[in-house]
Amino acid sequence: MLVVPFAHDQFDNAARVARLGAGRMLARARYRVPCIVAELTRLLEDSSYAERAGRIGKQVQREDGARIACDVIEHHALWR
The reported pTM is: 0.76
Residues 53 and 22: beta-carbon distance below 8 Å:
yes
26-61 pLDDT, tens digit each = 999 999 999 999 999 999 999 999 999 999 999 999
Give the separation between CA 15 and CA 58, rounded to whole angstroms: 21
2: three-class secondary structure by DSSP: strand
Residues 6+ apart with CB under 8 A from 6: 28
Strand residue runs (E) in 14-66? 24-25
Domain spans of the chain?
2-78
Average pLDDT over residues 1-30: 97
Q: What is the pLDDT of residue 80?
A: 66
Average pLDDT over residues 5-19: 97
Domain covering 2-78: architecture:
3-Layer(aba) Sandwich (3.40)
